[in-house]
Chains A and B, each alone.
Chain A
Amino acid sequence: MIEDKPVNRRDFLGIATWAIGGLISLGLAIPAVAYVLGPALQGNKSQNWIRLSSTSKVEIGTPTLFKAKVERKTGWITSEEEIAAFVLTENGRDFIAMSNICTHLGCRVRWLNDRQQFLSPCHNGVFDKQGAVVSGPPPRPLDRYEVKVEDDQLYILGG
Chain B
Amino acid sequence: MGAQLGNWLDERLGWRRVWEAIFLRKIPKVNWLYTLGSATLFVALLQIVTGILLTIYYVPTPDHAYDSVQYITTQVPAGWLIRGLHHWGASAMVALTGLHMVRVILYGAYKYPREVTWFTGVFLLLVVTAFGFTGYLLPWDQKAYWATTVGTRIAGVAPVVGEGILRIMRGGEELTAITLARFFGVHVWVLPAALLLLIIVHMYLVIRIGISAVPKSEE
For A36, give its contact among B53, B70, B75, B81 (CB under 8 Å). Answer: B53
Establish whether residues A28 and B76, one from each chain, have CB atoms under 8 Å apart when the complex forms. no
Q: With A28-B46, A31-B78, A31-B81 given, is the CB distance from A36 to B67 under 8 Å?
A: no
Proximity bits, A21-40, B CB within 8 Å = 1, else 0: 00000001001101111110
Q: Given A38-B76, A38-B77, decide whether A32 and B68 contact each other with a Cβ distance below 8 A.
A: no
Which of B46, B67, B76, B81 makes the CB contact (< 8 A) with A39? B76
Contact, CB under 8 Å: A31 / B82: yes
* A28 cross-chain contacts in B, Cβ below 8 A: 46, 49, 85
A-B contact count (CB 8 A): 43
Q: How many residues of A contact B (CB 8 A)?
A: 12
**A 134-151 to B, binary, CB cutoff 8 A, 1 in contact else 0:** 000000000000000000
Task: Indicate whether A75 reaches chain B with its CB closer than 8 angstroms.
Answer: yes
A residues near B75, Cβ cutoff 8 Å: 38-39, 75-76
A2 within 8 A of B: no
Q: How many residues of B contact A (CB 8 A)?
A: 18
Give, as a whole number of angstroms, the nearest-CB distance from B177 to chain A.
Answer: 17
> What is the CB-to-nearest-CB distance from B151 to chain A, in angstroms, rounded to a whole number?
27
User: Are A32 and B53 in contact (CB-based, < 8 A)?
Assistant: yes
**Chain A residue with minimal CB distance to B56?**
A36
Nearest-CB distance from A115 to chain B (Å)? 46
8 contacts between A and B (CB under 8 A): A28-B49, A34-B78, A35-B56, A35-B81, A36-B53, A36-B56, A76-B67, A77-B67
